[in-house]
Amino acid sequence: MKHFILSLTCSLMIVSTAISQSNYLIKNVNINTTHRIQDLKFIDSTRGIAISHSEIFYTVDAGENWQLKFSIPPSSGLEVINHQNDSIIVTGFYGFSGPSHLSFLFSDSTFQLVNLPNTYNLAYVNPTYFNDSMWSTYGTGNPSTNGLLVIKGANYRRIDTNQCILDIYDDRISYYNGTHLKYSVDSGKSWISISNLPVSGASQSAFQTYYDGNSNLYVHKHGSFLENYHDSTFISNDFGLSWLMLGTAPKPRRLHFVNNQTVVGVDSNLFYYSIDGGFTFNTLQIDSNSTGAAELWVHSTDRFFSWNQNKGLVVIEKNLTTQLDHIQNESFAFSLYPNPAKNSFSIDMETIDIKQVQVFDLTGKIYFESRHKQSQIEVSEFPNGIYFVSIITNNQHSTKRLVVYH
């Protein structure tokens, strides 16, 4: 079937008004760094790793607080986090030793440094560990040694001989080589090529492509001087058979397809959110005067992290008062400690006539319920994750987040 393009800017509307603050909350998280966060990944619902160019941080409370795990030479350039269960590999450049990767377990207090082989003195770009191999675009200024490279041990394998822009996200892989968008559904064993793209003539540095692992493709072209630096962005929900133009206003460089309906992204100042597969977007202002590219990382369907030039690392999440329909506007103060909880937690509040206490997870499954105030609530049998503690009195209802981590 021939590819075709729908340039229907009016059909896909970016809603310029911000989402009400009652629907989403943006708040800073506790991380002690002055450097830009380059990548952030969650191993499970509570544990995560974040990196700057020369620092590695960890969290055990779903990203509320981050602690420094490793500090490496400031001349380093860490770029990408990959993990398989508790085994973590961070790729980039370590000091002046060249392209490297650092490997460690989440619980480790030391890491193993492995330098990449550099037989041909290649200029690696964002080397990424994927499927037991190192993937990287590279070049030496000589067209015969430009392309996309896969390294396993001391062995090299060329995927493409053109200068390429590579994108690997989780187990999703795609790249652009100047003429084609190529993506793989089998971890790089074979490739599907799309030649009739929504824009053409873009240099590799001005063109980015993303594949979500299902049927969605996303193309972002950086505007040139002749285009008044207006970016063009397109989305396809059918493996590139048809494309829909999002317009030429500033847009996220990357859209995250959280599921078939939820699509999110950020630019330097705004959080974009779609609940209809990317056909319409709402926006929420993160900051009013930040410049430069921004990144977004997904924790769960309704919880995201972003690095902002002025605000630092922030979390964007659904407000409990709208995420949970039965929670009323009226509330009262109470606190939970310890939080995160390992074996049990306590509720600290003034003496109020409590009618009900509930502890439930993100799906609404109830793990604890009582008609009386409890001095301690046992959570030793709860799976690690995020929970909500809901308290109902005579005429009020209040809920707080609880993290359980064993």
Residues 254-263: pLDDT tens digits?
A: 778 787 678 8
**Averaged pLDDT, 60-74:** 93
Residues 310, 369, single domain; the answer is no
348: containing domain? 323-404
Residues 295, 385, single domain; the answer is no
Whether pLDDT at 66 is above 70: yes
Q: Are strands 14-18 and 4-6 parallel, antiparallel or unpaired?
A: unpaired
pLDDT at 162: 81
Residues 308, 344, single domain; the answer is no
Beta bridge partners of 91: 80, 101
**What average pLDDT does the chain have?**
77
Q: Are 28 and 63 in contact (CB under 8 A)?
A: no
Max mean pLDDT among 12-26, 167-181, 326-340 falls in 167-181
Whether pLDDT at 313 is above 90: yes
Q: Are strands 165-169 and 99-105 parallel, antiparallel or unpaired?
A: unpaired
pLDDT at 20: 37
Q: Are 394 and 355 in contact (CB under 8 A)?
A: yes
Q: Are 271 and 264 in contact (CB under 8 A)?
A: yes
pLDDT band with cut points at 50, 70 and 90 for residue 247: low
> Of 225, 222, 226, whose CA–CA distance to 205 is shortest?
222
**Averaged pLDDT, 352-379:** 84
Q: For residues 222 and 104, what is the distance between their CA atoms, to the nearest angstrom?
A: 37
Q: Following CA atoms 247, 249, 253, 256 in sequence, which dihedral angle do they give, to the nearest 10 degrees?
A: -60
Max mean pLDDT among 91-100, 228-237, 325-334 falls in 91-100
Beta bridge partners of 62: none
Q: What are the residues whose beta carbons fall under 8 Å from the beta carbon of 300, sequence distance 6 or more?
A: 45, 362, 386
pLDDT band with cut points at 50, 70 and 90 for residue 109: very high
CATH code where residue 365 lies: 2.60.40.3080
Residues 282, 387, single domain; the answer is no
> Of 61, 63, 4, 1, whose CA–CA distance to 28 is shortest?
63
Residues 192, 281, single domain; the answer is yes
User: Domains in the chain: how many in total?
Assistant: 2
Q: For residues 77 and 52, what is the distance between their CA atoms, to the nearest angstrom?
A: 8
pLDDT at 30: 93
pLDDT at 50: 97
Whether pLDDT at 380 is above 50: yes
Residues 217, 331, single domain; the answer is no
User: E strands along 196-342, which residues?
Assistant: 207-211, 217-221, 232-236, 242-247, 256-257, 263-266, 270-274, 281-285, 295-300, 303-308, 312-318, 335-337
Whole-model pTM?
0.73
Residues 353, 230, single domain; the answer is no
pLDDT at 14: 36
**Percent of residues, the chain, with pLDDT higher than 70:** 76
**Averaged pLDDT, 113-118:** 75
